Structure 1
Amino acid sequence: MTQSHTITRDEAQLRAAMLDVHTYRLDIDVTDANVFRVQAVITFSAAESAVGGSTFIDLLEHDVYSAELNGHTVEYDGSRLRLEPLQLDNELIVSSTAEYSSTGEGLHRYIDPFDEAEYLYSQCEPADARRIFPVFEQPDLKATFALGVTAPSYWTVLSNEPGTHVLDGEVAHWTFDATPVMSSYLFALIAGEYTEVATGSSKSRVPLGLWARKSMAVYVGAEDILDITRSGFAFYEHQFGVVYPFSKYDQIFVPEFNAGAMENVGAVTITEDYIFRSAVPAAMVQRRAITILHELAHMWFGNLVTMRWWDDLWLNESFAEFVSHLAAVDAGFADAWTTFNATEKTWAYRQDQLATTHPVIADMVDLDAVAVNFDGITYAKGAAVLRQLVAWVGTEHFMAGVRNYFTEYAWANTTFGDLLRPLEDASGRELSSWAEEWLHTTGVNTLSWQRDGDEVIITQSSPVRKHRVVVGFYDVVDGKLTRTSSVAIDLQEKTTCLPADDAALMLVNDEDLTYAKLRPDAASLQVLTERLSDVDDSLARSLLWGTAWDLTRDGEASAAWFLELILTHVASETDSSVVFSLLRQATTALKYFVPTEHASATRQHFAHGLWQLAEDAVSGSDVELQLVQAFIRHTRSESKVSELADGHGLAGFSVSTDMAWSAIQRLVALGVVGEADIEAAHAEDDSSTGYLAAVQARAMIPTAAAKAETWQRITGGDLTNLELRHMVMGFADVHDHELLAGYVDEYFNRIEDLWAASSFETAETFALGLFPLWASTEETASRTMTVASSTRYRGLQRILTELHDDVRRALTAQSAF
C-alpha cells in the first residue's frame, strides 16, 4: 500500500465553501477474509454558485464497481471520485471493495497467533477514513453516519453508536444508530472476536464498556480503568459545564495499534501496550491513566467542538493533554505534573530545538504536513504553554472561558480565535499579544541566573517572552533540601533582578509554570550534583534532573557526568516517571553521546552500577524493577542475564515472562543463545506477546547471514506494522556495529524508494528505525542532508532533517566527554 494522494488546505477550503454534507449511509461487509465490501450513499447539497460545477470526494485504493452522482456515472482515479455536474441537492452512490490494512491505517485486520481469532479495527486520523469508504476527508465537513455491517455470526461489532443485530445463518446483520454530526476522522468500526471485559456507567449514567481480544482479556485491569474513566467523567462534566455529549463510551484494546489511543466518538481504541500481563513500573500505570483521561477529554475538545482545519490540531491535542493532567491530579495522581515535566516537556524541548520546529499553531498546507506534525510541539509544548496561560489568567477564569466556548460552538468547527475571545471575556485580560508570543513563534527560552551579593540576576534568551514564574529558595532542613521561601514574579525583560535569600539552592521556574530550559548559578549546580536526591519535592527534583539532561544534550556537561549523576541519585528517586525518563535518557547517552573509544568501558561501569543499586533497593520496589530492566538493556555480561532468563533474579525478585524474554534477547545479541533457545522460549509463551518477542530476538542474532536475512524481510513488504517494528528494533540492537556497517550505504541508497512504496506509518518506521545514528560522523551528517535536500517527499525530508540534527547533537555531546 503506497502513500496516498494528499489533500491541500486550499482544496479543503474551496470544498467547504461549496458543500454542506448531510448523511453517510454505509453498508460494510466484512465476511470475506481478503477484502471488505462497501455500499455508500452520501447526500450533500451545493451552494448556488457551485451548481453545474465540480468537486471531488476521496476514496483511496478501492476497486470501484459502480459510482453514480444523481444517476450519472462518475470517474475514479484511485484516490478521488470526480463529482460533476453538481446540483443543489445531490446523492452519490458507490459500490467498491478494498483489501484490509496491515499497517494500522484504515481498516486493519489482525489474526491472533495464539488462537487464530480474527480482529478488525478502524483508524482514520488524520485522513484514513478514505481507505474505508468514500468521504469528504476534512474536519469541517461534518455529517451524520448511519452504519450497517455484515459480519460472521460469532463476532462482536462496535461503532460510534449502539447497535443491534439479527442472525442470518452464519452471518449477522448489524444496524447502528445514526451518529450526531461529526468529522470523518472520528468514524469507528471494530469487529471480531472481542470479549466484553467489563461494563458500568458514569455518574451521569452514560453506559461504559471495556473490550479486548480473547487471549488478552484476562490481563485487563478492568476496575482500575473504569474507576479512572468515571473520575474523568465527573471532573470534565463539572469543569466544562456540558454533560457528556454522546450516547455511550466504549474503550477497546486493539492489536497492532500505532498510537497510544484514538478518540473515536463513543468508541475509543487503545494500544494493547496498556494491558499489563506482568509487573510494570508505576510510570506505565500512570501513563495509561493519563491516556484514558486524554481521550475522554477529546469528547469535548475535538469531537463536540472540532478544529476547522489541521492548523489548529493543537486545539485538540494540547488542550486534551493539559486538562488530562488536571483530571489526573483530581483522580489521585498527586504527582501528575511531575510526570508531565519529566516526560512531556522533555519531548517538547527536544522537538522545539530541531531545525524543523514550528509554531504551536502550525502551517498545515496539506495532509503530508499534517502527518508529521503529531509531535512534541502539537502535544507537549502546547500543553505547557496552556499551563503558563492558566498561571497568567487563573484556573477559574480559564475554565469559565472554556465553558462559554463549548456552549457557543457545540457541534461546530472553530479556529483558535474562537476560543481566545471567551478566554479574554472571562479573564478580563487582553490575550492576543500572549498568543503571538507563545503560539505563533518557535523556540524554547533559556532562563539562567547568577547571584550578585544579595541579588539574583535572571536572564532569558531570545525571543523575550512574558514568563510567570516562581523562584524557590532551598536550604537544608532535617537533612533534606526544603523550600524555605519563594517569590512569584513576571519576567518580561531580557534581565530581571530580585532580592535573593542566602539559600543553598535557588530554582527559577519552581512549580514548573512556564516553558523554558534552566541554567543554574554555579553554587546551585554544585548542590544539584552533590545533593539532588535530598530535594524533598518531586517536581523540583524533576526540574533539576531536566536541567542536567539539557546540559548534557547541549554539550555543556559530559555524558560521563550525567551517567554518574544517575548512579548517585536515581535509587533514591520516589517518582516512577522520573526514574523511567532518566533511564531512557541514559540509554540515549550511552548509545550516542559517548565517544566510540570510551563506549565499552562506560557501558560496563554503568551496568555494574545499576546492578549494585538493584541489589541494595527495597525488594519488590518500583525502582528495583526499573533498575533490573535497565541492567538487562546495557549489560554485556552473560552470567546474571542467564539467571534472569531462567527466571532467577535477586532475592525476593519475581522474574516475569516478559523480563525473561528481555534477558533471552540480550543473550541472543551476546551470541550465547540462538534459534533453538528462541524457539523453546516461544513454545513456552505462545501468546501474541511471545510471538513478537521471538520476532525481535531472531532479528538480534549477531551474524552477518542473520542480519542479511533480517534486512531482506524488513524491506520485503510482507510484514505487519508491529512485526516490522519489532524486527527493526532487533536488527539495530547489536553489540558490535561492524555487523551493520554495510547497511549504511543500503539505507541512503534505498530510503527514498522504501518511502515511496510504503504507507506513512511503514515509511516512518523505515526512516527512523534503520537510520545509522550509531555512526554519528561528519560523513553521516553530510549524507543525511544530501538526501533530505533532494527528496520530493515532504515527510521524509522532515525526518531526515531531524535525524541530521540528532547526528550533530551527538557529535557535540561526544566532544564534551
Structure 2
Amino acid sequence: MPASDTITRDHAKLRAAMLEVDSYRINLDVTDDAVFAVHTVVNFSVSAGALGHATSIDLLGHEVESAMLNGHAVTYDGVRLKLDDLQADNELVVTSSAPYSTTGEGLHRYVDPYDEAEYLYTQCAPADARRIFPVFDQPDLKATFELRVTAPAHWEVLSNEPGEYVVDGNVAHWTFGATPVMSSYLFALIAGEYIRVAEDSRDTPEASVPLGLWARRSLARHVDADQILTITKAGFAFYEQHFAQPYPYSKYDQIFVPEFNAGAMENVGAVTILEDYIFRSPVPQATVLRRAITILHELAHMWFGNLVTMKWWDDLWLSESFAEFVSHLAAVDAGFPHAWTTFNATEKSWAYRQDQLSTTHPVVADMVDLDAVAGNFDGITYAKGASVLRQLVAWVGQEQFLAGVRSYFAEHAWSNTEFSDLLRHLETASGRDLSGWSEQWLHSTGVNTLSWERRNGVTITQSQPVRQHRVGIGFYDFDETKQLTRTDYVETDLNAEITTIHAPDSALVLVNDADLTYAKLRPDTTSMHTLTEHLSDVDDSLARSLLWATAWDQTRDAEASASWFLELVLDHVAHETDSSMVFTLLRQAATSVERFIPDAQIALYRHHLAGRLWHLVLEADAGSDLQLQLVQAFLRHAREEHAEQVAQLAHKQGPPGFSVSTDMAWIALQRLVAMCKAGESEIDEALEEDDTSNGYLAAIQARAMRPTKRHKAETWEQLTGGTLTNMELRHMVMGFMDVHEQALLEPYTSRYFEQISDLWAANSYELAETLALGLYPSWAVSEQTAEQTLAVIETTPHSGLKRLLTELHDDVLRALAARAAF
C-alpha cells in the first residue's frame, strides 16, 4: 500500500520539538524540457532528547539517485526520506529529479502557444515545496535558503533574493543570496522568457527597495505598469507607517505567471500573480479594484505571514483574514474610497454562503492534516475572518487595534506565533478582555440574523446564538432631489436577543449601517417597501450594498421569490453606480434563473432576462462600465431568438459607441456554437486571427460547447483522460457544461456519480477539485440528484471529495426550497 502523502499536525509538532533547521542549499537544473534535476544539502540539528532517534523529511514524487544522511544511505518511499540515528548536527545530501508540474502545484512548466516561449514558476503553499526538493514542509521550521540554478542562457531567473549569473555557452549559472529565515511554503523560483515590464524603487531615508514588474513576453505590452506600481508604493507607505516596521526583505518583484490556480501568492520578495489581472481588453472597474486589493493583500503578507508566521495551519485564517482586512484599509488610503462596498458585495456574500453550509467550521479551524488545510482555503478562512476582524476593530477602535499589531510585530519578528500571541497584544493596547469576543466570533459557527420592527422606536431581534455586535443604525429619508439620504446615525452594542432604541420616523431604517458587524439583515415592513421601490435612490454605495445583500439573502433563504429578486435587479441595476455591485447583482440574477426557478419556467425567464438586459444595453451610456457588464451578462443568457445580436458581437459589431474586444468576440462566438449557429470552421478562423494563449483557451472552451452527442462524448473522454493542464481542464469543463438543451448532459449525471471518486484519486487536488465542482450536475435540481450525491458521500474514502459533495448537496436542497417558494 503506498504511503500517505499528507502531513499531520501531530507529526509536524513532533518534528518541530525535535529539530532546528539551519539551511537549505539547493542546486536546480532546469535545462531539460521534461524533468528538472536537483541537488540539495540540508543542515539541521536536533534536541538532546532526540539524539539517536528517527524522523522523516518530505519529498514527493521524485526519482532519487542518491540520498545520504551524515554519510549513510537513507530510504525513500516516494513521499518521504526516512532519517535514522539523528546526531546533534546533521547534513542530508540528496540528488534527485522529477517531471515538471502541469497542475500549478510545485514547479509548473508552461509553453506559450503563441511563440513557444517557455515559462516556469513555483507554487509551494501549503506544502508543495516537497514536490521540488527535500524539505521539512511545515511553516514553523523556518530556515535560510540558498539557491543556484542552471538554466538556458536566454532565460530570466528570479527568486526570493536578487541573483547574479555567468553564461557558459548555451546555459547560464545563477546564484542567489541566502534568504533570511523563512517558511518553506514561501520559496520561489520563476524562470523563463519573462520580460521585466517596469522597475522602480520604494525609497525612504533608511532604505531603497527595488521594485520589479514581470510578465511573459506575449503579454508584456498589456501590463498596466504605472497603475500597479503606484498602488504598490502606496501600500508600502501605508503598511510601514501603521506597522512601524520597515519592509523586511531586500527586493519586491511581482510576476504575472501563466496557468496560476490562485489570485496571487505571497512568496518572500517574489509575488506571483494570476495573468487574468493583465487586461488585454476592457474589464469592469470591479475587476480593476479586485486587482488592487490583491496587490495590497499580498504586500501585507510580507509582514503578516512572512515576517511573523503561524506555527501551523490552524491559524491560516489569521494570516489570510488579516491581509484581507488591512488590504481594504490600504485601498481606501490608496484612492479607492468604495473598497468596503466591494468587500460587502463580494467577500461577505462569499462568507455568508460558506457559513450556512453544513460543512461550516469555526474561523479557528481544526487543521488536523493537509487534507483539512486544502479544504479550508474557503470563505470562512478569508472572508468571515476579515469580517469579524472588522467587527473587532469597531469594538476596540482602529488606533488601538493597530497599536496592538505594532507591538506584536516588534516582539515576534522572524518567528512563529499562534493567535493567542496577537490577542495578548490587542488586549494590552485596547485595555479590554477579548477572551469572550474570541469565543463568540472565532470558536463558534453560523451567521446571526438581525431583524427589526418599528414599535415605540426600533426593536432589534438577534437570532441565536446571541453575540455582541457593535452596529451602526442609519435612518434615511428623501431629500429635495428625491434621493434617499441618511438623516440620523447612531452606534450601539447589541448584547441581548432583543434591543430597543429610540428612533426618528423615516422612510428607511438600516441596522448595521456602515457594515461594522457580520450578520444577515431583515428590515421592517416599511423599510422593505422602500427597498423594493427606491433601492437605487439610496445615495450611499455601502448602504445600497447592504440592502442588495438583504434582498439576495431572502431569496436564497426561500423567504422571497426569485422572480421578485430578478425584477428588483432589472428595475434598479441600470442606476447602480458601483461596479462591484453591478458585477455581483448580475451573477446573482444568473443564479436565480439557473437554480431558483422551476425547470418548466427557466426558458421563459431567461428569455425575459436576456431581452431586458439587451434593452438596458441600448439605454446605457455608450462605452460605460455598466454597458460593458450588461453586454457580458446578455451573452451568458442569450439564446436562439437573440442570435442576430450575438452574431454582430462575434463580428465585433456592437451598439453605437461600444467597442467589442477580441475577448468579447470569443464569448459571442462560443454562444453561437452552443446555438449550433457556428462550428469548427468559425472556431479555427477566430483562432487564426487570435493565436494567443487567450485564443487557445477560448477555442478549447468553444469546441467543448458543440451541442451534439458525439462532441459531448469526445469531450467527456478528454476531461477524464488525465492529459490536460489545469487551465485546459478548467476551460473544457466550462464549455462542456454550457448547453442550451439539458438533454445533452443527462447521460453524464450517472457517469459523474460513478466515476468521480476514482477521478479524485487519480488527480492532484487542484485538478480533482475542478472535476468535482465543474462537472457536478448542478443543472439537475431534484431529489434524485440529492440522493445520488449522498450515496457517493457515504461511500467515497476521500475526505476532500466528501466535503465538496456535501456542500453541493446543500446547494441542491437550497435550490429546491427556493423553487418551492417561487
Q: Distance in 2 between matches of 1:521 and 1:788?
A: 41
Q: CA deviation at 1:3?
A: 11
Matched, 1:699 2:695: no
Q: Distance in 2 between matches of 1:761 and 1:355?
A: 22
Please say which of residues 499-508 and 319-328 is displaced more in the overlay.
499-508
Residue of structure 2 equivalent to 1:270: 273
Counterpart contact for 1:212–1:252, Cα < 8 Å: yes
Q: Distance in 2 between matches of 1:632 and 1:469?
A: 40
Matched, 1:305 2:308: yes
Q: Distance in 1 between matches of 2:771 and 2:457?
A: 53
Equivalent position SS for 2:218: coil
Matched, 1:66 2:57: no
Matched, 1:170 2:173: no
Root-mean-square deviation (CA, aligned residues, Å) is 0.8
Counterpart contact for 1:141–1:183, Cα < 8 Å: yes
Residue of structure 1 equivalent to 2:9: 9
Q: CA deviation at 1:786?
A: 1.5
Residue of structure 1 equivalent to 2:489: 486
Residue of structure 1 equivalent to 2:465: 463
Counterpart contact for 1:390–1:398, Cα < 8 Å: yes
Residue of structure 1 equivalent to 2:732: 727
Equivalent position SS for 1:215: helix
Q: Distance in 1 between matches of 2:808 and 2:135?
A: 35
Residue of structure 2 equivalent to 1:323: 326
> Alignment partner for residue 502 of structure 1, among 496, 505, 528?
505
Counterpart contact for 2:3–2:77, Cα < 8 Å: no
> Alignment partner for residue 749 of structure 1, among 731, 737, 754?
754
Deviations 1:679-703 (A, max 9, x none): 0000000010000000000000000
Matches within 5 A, 1:423-438: 423-438=426-441
Q: Distance in 2 between matches of 1:442 and 1:203?
A: 45
Q: CA deviation at 1:4?
A: 6.4
Q: Distance in 2 between matches of 1:489 and 1:736?
A: 53
Matched, 1:102 2:102: yes
Question: What amino acid maps onto 1:711 in structure 2?
Answer: W
Q: Distance in 2 between matches of 1:599 and 1:729?
A: 20
Q: CA deviation at 1:146?
A: 0.2
Equivalent position SS for 2:459: strand
Matched, 1:531 2:531: no
Q: CA deviation at 1:203?
A: 3.2
Residue of structure 2 equivalent to 1:815: 820
Matched, 1:293 2:296: yes
Matched, 1:403 2:414: no
Counterpart contact for 1:345–1:380, Cα < 8 Å: yes
Q: Distance in 1 between matches of 2:203 and 2:801?
A: 47
Residue of structure 2 equivalent to 1:477: 479
> Alignment partner for residue 782 of structure 2, among 758, 771, 777?
777
Counterpart contact for 2:297–2:323, Cα < 8 Å: yes
Q: Which runs of 5+ in 1 are unaligned?
A: none
Q: Distance in 1 between matches of 2:679 and 2:271?
A: 40
Q: Distance in 2 between matches of 1:285 and 1:558?
A: 33
Matched, 1:587 2:587: no
Residue of structure 2 equivalent to 1:190: 190
Counterpart contact for 1:4–1:759, Cα < 8 Å: no
Deviations 1:601-649 (A, max 9, x none): 0000011111111111111111011001100110112010001111111
Q: Distance in 2 between matches of 1:518 and 1:598?
A: 29
Equivalent position SS for 2:23: strand
Question: What amino acid maps onto 2:491 in structure 1?
Answer: A
Counterpart contact for 2:259–2:726, Cα < 8 Å: yes
Q: Distance in 1 between matches of 2:239 and 2:548?
A: 32
Residue of structure 1 equivalent to 2:804: 799
Q: Distance in 1 between matches of 2:352 and 2:222?
A: 35
Counterpart contact for 1:3–1:756, Cα < 8 Å: no
Q: CA deviation at 1:589?
A: 1.1
Q: Distance in 2 between matches of 1:555 and 1:142?
A: 50
Question: What amino acid maps onto 1:402 in structure 2?
Answer: V
Residue of structure 2 equivalent to 1:157: 157
Equivalent position SS for 2:740: coil
Q: CA deviation at 1:789?
A: 2.1
Q: Distance in 1 between matches of 2:387 and 2:820?
A: 32
Question: What amino acid maps onto 1:471 in structure 2?
Answer: I
Q: Distance in 2 between matches of 1:455 and 1:357?
A: 36
Counterpart contact for 1:203–1:234, Cα < 8 Å: no
Residue of structure 2 equivalent to 1:53: 53
Q: Distance in 2 between matches of 1:145 and 1:581?
A: 43
Q: Distance in 2 between matches of 1:772 and 1:616?
A: 36
Q: Which runs of 5+ in 2 are unaligned?
A: none
Q: Distance in 1 between matches of 2:35 and 2:4?
A: 19
Residue of structure 1 equivalent to 2:633: 630
Residue of structure 2 equivalent to 1:36: 36
Question: What amino acid maps onto 1:137 in structure 2?
Answer: D
Matches within 5 A, 1:635-784: 635-636=638-639, 637-784=642-789
Question: What amino acid maps onto 1:573 in structure 2?
Answer: E
Deviations 1:520-541 (A, max 9, x none): 1111111101000000000000
Equivalent position SS for 2:766: helix
Residue of structure 2 equivalent to 1:232: 235
Matched, 1:210 2:213: yes
Matched, 1:515 2:518: yes
Counterpart contact for 1:59–1:78, Cα < 8 Å: yes
Question: What amino acid maps onto 1:724 in structure 2?
Answer: L
Q: CA deviation at 1:783?
A: 1.1
Deviations 1:215-268 (A, max 9, x none): 000000000000000000000000000000000000000000000000000000
Matched, 1:390 2:393: yes
* Distance verdict in 2 for CA 1:3–1:252, change over 3 Å: farther
Deviations 1:47-85 (A, max 9, x none): 111011000000000000000000000000000000001
Q: Distance in 2 between matches of 1:678 and 1:373?
A: 39
Equivalent position SS for 2:618: helix
Counterpart contact for 2:142–2:184, Cα < 8 Å: yes
Equivalent position SS for 2:303: coil
Q: Distance in 1 between matches of 2:239 and 2:4?
A: 37
Deviations 1:366-408 (A, max 9, x none): 0000001010000000000000000001111000000000000
> Alignment partner for residue 557 of structure 2, among 547, 554, 557?
554
Matches within 5 A, 1:603-618: 603-618=606-621
Counterpart contact for 1:159–1:176, Cα < 8 Å: yes
Matched, 1:282 2:285: yes
Residue of structure 2 equivalent to 1:565: 568
Percent identity, please.
69
Q: Distance in 2 between matches of 1:538 and 1:34?
A: 52
Q: Distance in 2 between matches of 1:5 and 1:777?
A: 37
Q: CA deviation at 1:501?
A: 1.4
Q: CA deviation at 1:355?
A: 0.4
Q: Distance in 1 between matches of 2:348 and 2:49?
A: 48
Residue of structure 2 equivalent to 1:443: 446
Q: CA deviation at 1:343?
A: 0.2
Residue of structure 2 equivalent to 1:81: 81
Q: How many aligned positions are there?
A: 815
Deviations 1:317-376 (A, max 9, x none): 000000000000000100000000000000000000000001111000000000010100
Q: Distance in 1 between matches of 2:793 and 2:770?
A: 16
Q: Distance in 1 between matches of 2:179 and 2:24?
A: 10
Q: TM-score, normalised by structure 1?
A: 0.99
Q: Distance in 2 between matches of 1:9 and 1:108?
A: 27
Q: Distance in 2 between matches of 1:372 and 1:187?
A: 22
Counterpart contact for 2:616–2:630, Cα < 8 Å: yes
